[in-house]
Amino acid sequence: MKTTKLPQNPKQAIRIVENIAKNNSNPNQPSWSYIIRNHLSEGTTSQVLSLYTQIRQTGLYIFGLVPLIFKACASASTQTYGKSLHAESIKFGVAIDLHIASSLLSMYSRCGNLIDSRKVFDEMPERNVVTWNAMIGGYFKNGDRESALDVFEKMPITRNSVTWVEMIDGFAKCGDTFKARQFFEKVPLELRTVVTWTVMVDGYNANGELEAAREIFDMMPERNYFVWSSMISGYCKRGNVKEARNFFDRIPVRNLVNWNSLISGYAQNGFCEEALRMYKKMQNEGFEPDEVTITSVLSACAQLGELDIGKEIHYLIKKKRMKANQFVLNALLDMYAKCGDLAQARLIFEGMSHRTSACWNSMILGLAIHGKNKEALEFFKRMEESNEMPDDITFLSLLSACAHGGCVDEGLDVFSKMETYDLVASIKHYGCLVDLLGRAGRLKEAFDLIKRMPIKPNDVVWGALLGACRIHLDTNMVEQVMQEVGKVDDDMDSGDNSHLVLLSNIYAASDRWEKAEKMRTAMVNKGFQKNPGLSSIIPNRMELPFSSHQL
């Protein structure tokens, strides 16, 4: 039979399908499998389902493709489509096939439908180790450790290495590394592969147990690239980038995953110059960046305000025809917004087919930090109309925009909406609100707000109010604040004297020189020294009360 080669483009493939159907001939199955597997590897599951729908409309039912379609349903969490395909499988008498039934079971499990998953499992006339493993994995994925353990203990057939990996990984992902370690110790020596060791190391790292991870890592008879990356990521999550770099330098043969782990770790911890330096070094050593690399490097550019480098990355994406997935688009949008190219940021934003809260936050924050306060509020209104749920960062950005724009009423309205979305205001949100009221000269309202706060105010909150007192030269309010904060001597002993410097400056600015001098003398006697070269410790009033790299 003549082989029909089908293009990767789904529209072209569909046209070929229709022509084949008109000629009453059957397509060559490997060609279909190639296209569908290619889309699955690229994550374009919607195109897989669309293509298969077109195939079915021609009247064809291709037995060998059914497991692949169930896999696409699982990836897209499309249980409705999967159930329809399940019914078709029953109709054509193939639902009892071991391979199809295992794929169906896995699909239901990944969609969170354990009832139907277990029903398929129980009705299977025969089961192999893959089926048992899929059922164990399904229970763990949905947080049912007891049922997973019950299935493991009832296995009538010999367990393989995957079975043990499912148990170790399952308990580790549930946070029970003690139980995971128990299963690791029980693994027969002939089944304790490099993957088994790696899963145990990664389980400890994922739960922040670096010392235990290091212990297992040092015991490994051999290591793969993933376990090196797991250790690098583990130390980066703890903020110890120096030790992460030490592990990176020890890798005998590096691959792209290792480079990505280190570059991402540098960017996430604010070591952005080092992230860019390692990115250049990676390229010099012959490694081509992928979507993960690009996302991390764009984050570093956003934090540094390196618009030119960010543009170079954008050009590289176009030149290499790299897939601009949701993460890459979000990173590009965030970079342009934070670097001040709001026109390009908006162009990317408006061109997005799907917008997450991160996209909206990037636009709102970008507008806020660059003084486009009214536009930030307009974007928030659009966000609400789009039914996308705002989060903590959304409201921090909006409150900052209102503070910088002097939009007091709008800011109070924004703050009140947090409760509508079941969000609890943090100390940062209260700090923004105090700053908002303070800038507007509504010092008493700001003071009363601090006293009513359900959480204990910190020095940032008090500093925001004292900064407003300095601007408005309200020494009476300063003294009320200091009564709340405590006696000067007590504060000096606490080791945090930032508001005391501010207080001294306020007294000096209002010509109350005696009190100002007394304050400074007391600080000198306590050994407090101001950083040389700084005229004041008051932060730039245009800065947000949180770091941009935290977003």
Contact 530, 501 (CB under 8 A): yes
**Alpha carbons 451 and 511: distance in angstroms, whole number:** 29
Task: Report the candidate in 266, 201, 267 with the shortest Cα–Cα distance to residue 228.
Answer: 201
pLDDT at 526: 58
Angle at 291 between CA 175 and CA 392, to 5 degrees: 55
| The residue count for the chain | 551
pLDDT at residue 539 in the model:
35
User: What is the residue type of 206?
Assistant: A
pTM: 0.76
What is the token pair recorded at 299? 């984050």
Residue type, 268: Q
Q: pLDDT tens, position by position, for the chain (551 residues)?
A: 343 444 445 455 545 544 544 444 454 444 667 777 777 777 777 777 777 777 777 766 667 778 888 888 888 777 877 788 888 788 777 777 888 888 888 888 888 889 988 998 998 888 999 999 999 999 999 999 999 999 999 999 899 999 999 999 999 999 999 999 999 999 999 999 999 999 999 999 999 999 999 999 999 999 999 999 999 999 999 999 999 999 999 999 999 999 999 999 999 999 999 999 999 999 999 999 999 999 999 999 999 999 999 999 999 999 988 878 889 999 999 999 999 999 999 999 999 988 989 999 999 999 998 989 899 999 999 999 998 899 999 999 999 889 888 889 999 999 999 999 999 999 999 999 999 999 999 999 999 999 999 988 887 788 888 888 888 878 788 888 877 765 433 443 444 555 566 566 666 555 555 666 666 666 666 555 554 443 333 333 334 444 444 44
pLDDT at 19 (0 to 100) = 53
Cα distance between residue 205 and residue 221, in whole Å? 19
Calculate the alpha carbon distances from 237 to 205, 319, 398 in Å.
Answer: 9, 33, 28
Is residue 62 within 8 A of residue 88, CB to CB? The reply is no
CB atoms within 10 A of CB 379: 25
CA 26 to chain centre: 45
Torsion, CA 532, CA 533, CA 534, CA 535, rounded to 10: 110
Q: Which amino acid is at 524?
A: V
Show me where the domains of the chain are located: 425-551
Question: Whose CA is closest to 78, among 57, 47, 55?
Answer: 47
Cβ neighbours, 10 Å, residue 311 = 16
pLDDT of residue 12: 54
Q: What is the pLDDT of residue 488?
A: 39
- Residue closest to 101 by CA, chosen among 77, 53, 135, 149: 135
Residue 165's pLDDT is 97
Residues 6+ apart with CB under 8 A from 452: none
Identify the three-state secondary structure at position 500. Answer: helix
What the block records as the tokens of 427 is 């100390």
First to last CA, the chain: 57
Predicted pLDDT at 86: 84
> In which element (H, E) is residue 484 found?
helix 475-485
The closest alpha carbon to 446, from 402, 397, 412, belongs to 412
